[in-house]
Amino acid sequence: MHVTSLSPGLEMHNENKKDNGAPLEAIPPLGTIERWAYDYLQTPSIELRMSPPPLPNKWEEKPVARAWVRPLRPPSLRFTHRSKTPKAKTLSQPSQRAKLLHTFFHHELQAGELFAWAVLAFPEAPLPVRRGWIRLLFDEAKHMRMYAAHIERLGHKIGDFPVRDWFWERVPACPSATSFLALMGVGLEGGNLDHGPRFAAMLEAAGDPEAGAILRQVIADEVAHVRFAVEWLGRLGVRLESLADFQALLPPPISPVLLRGLPLNREARTQAGLSGKWLDELEACRLESRPKPTRNEEATECPN
């Protein structure tokens, strides 16, 4: 079986599939970047996710959209629909810091996987956008390695704590490259610019400056990821002049209010190219205009 998922909530579409589960459009040809992205998702290896193999140097000549692809994960990862973020007062315990960093690791994993997915799902996106997504995937792999190394220093390993596939449950609903840039780049990665410094300060206050430094490095890298999304949305005709422009690109039931932390990290978000007016609207938006989120719609609160 080529296409499967090991996480609850990750359904594959079954129409037009070969007996082995792959759609008739099937698997990208060997030696292409699309096949590399496909194999990145289909090889059940955490090591490969953290240290991707070298890229081929050619793109498929006439790629088809392969939004149906879902990641195959190592059995060592345990999934849950609900996970609790450790409270600040518990972070003096190494196991609680490891649990927190394990959550961050899993966000990096999903982000890297979703950039590979976007390359496959949106072949119509301009080549520099697809190239950029691959570049960001390598950044996410670097972030995974940073977190995994510190989790080991704390006496744990990847797989020791359950993880929640919130990104994968939501992002594949994006119908277009611009929707993906909005949700993944401006929404999820943008929200992490708000949450990251708060968690870094919590880890430093708990006596783990090394963990705090890792988060601060990750956040610095993520500014460039958000800027990539903002700049390309602009080039593709989405100027993000009001929050409504942003919300229109988000697949329901995602609301901008789920994609920010308060206070906003205005300095980082401004560096990423978001305007003061847009940030004012993001800061002011409230959940009352939408139904209360269900358990699975709650915001993610951790950096990726």
Binding stretches for Fe ion (CB under 5 A): 108, 140, 143, 189, 222, 225, 304
The label of the residue with tokens 């993000």 reads 240
Least distance CB 58 / Fe ion (angstroms): 26
In the complex with Fe ion, which residue's Cβ is closer, 189 or 208?
Answer: 189
Q: CB of 265 within 8 A of CB of 193? A: yes
In the complex with Fe ion, which residue's Cβ is closer, 27 or 254?
Answer: 254
Contacts of 248 (CB under 8 A, 6+ apart): none
Residue 287 structure tokens: 């959940």
Least distance CB 295 / Fe ion (angstroms): 25
Q: CB of 63 within 8 A of CB of 55? A: no
Least distance CB 69 / Fe ion (angstroms): 20
Q: CB of 266 within 8 A of CB of 279? A: yes
- Estimate the share of the chain in helix, then strand, then coil, as percent rounded to the nearest 5: 55, 0, 45
Least distance CB 215 / Fe ion (angstroms): 10
Least distance CB 174 / Fe ion (angstroms): 16
In the complex with Fe ion, which residue's Cβ is closer, 73 or 225?
Answer: 225
Contacts of 158 (CB under 8 A, 6+ apart): 46, 76, 77, 102, 105, 148, 151
In the complex with Fe ion, which residue's Cβ is closer, 172 or 190?
Answer: 190
Least distance CB 176 / Fe ion (angstroms): 20
Contacts of 229 (CB under 8 A, 6+ apart): 181, 182, 184, 185, 186, 189, 190
In the complex with Fe ion, which residue's Cβ is closer, 69 or 188?
Answer: 188
In the complex with Fe ion, which residue's Cβ is closer, 34 or 189?
Answer: 189
In the complex with Fe ion, which residue's Cβ is closer, 189 or 194?
Answer: 189
Report the number of secondary-structure helices (H) and strands (E) in the chain: 11, 0
Least distance CB 274 / Fe ion (angstroms): 16
Distance CA 168, CA 21 (A): 19
